[in-house]
Amino acid sequence: MAKKNSRREFSFETIPAKEAQKRKSQRGRRRSKYSPIGEKFEELGKSDVLVFTATKNEVQGIRNYMRRNFEGEHSVSSRAAGDDNFEVYISKE
């Protein structure tokens, strides 16, 4: 039997970006463990710096998260703080 060739009709609407973000969050979208950092970053002033400690692996995860979600808006720096911990500095560019 031949496969039925059906075309799906898409219905579109244009909405503000903030509303889109709100809708995506309501549908059970997976949340990154770094989301709280992103939320703090959004509240950060231009002259402020977010400082906290993280492990070496977490620093790389934070860099990737910030790059994916805030491309070109941020600067992430880190320095060794003893043992396996690093002090992380995030600021707005």
Measured CA angle at 56 (ends 51, 61), to 5 deg: 75
Question: Where do the structural domains in the chain lie, given as residue ranges?
Answer: 43-93
Residue 72 has a pLDDT of 87
- CA distances, 25 to each of 16, 17, 31, 40, 51 (Å): 15, 12, 9, 17, 26
15's tokens? 């909405």
Give percent above pLDDT 90 in the chain: 48
Match 């320095």 to its residue by tokens: 79
Distance CA 88, CA 15 (A): 36
pLDDT digit string, tens, across residues 47-79: 999 999 999 999 999 999 999 989 889 999 999
In what helix (H) or strand (E) does residue 92 lie, and over which residues does it extend? strand 85-92
Residue 15 has a pLDDT of 85
What stretches of 26-84 adopt beta strand conformation (E)?
49-55, 74-80
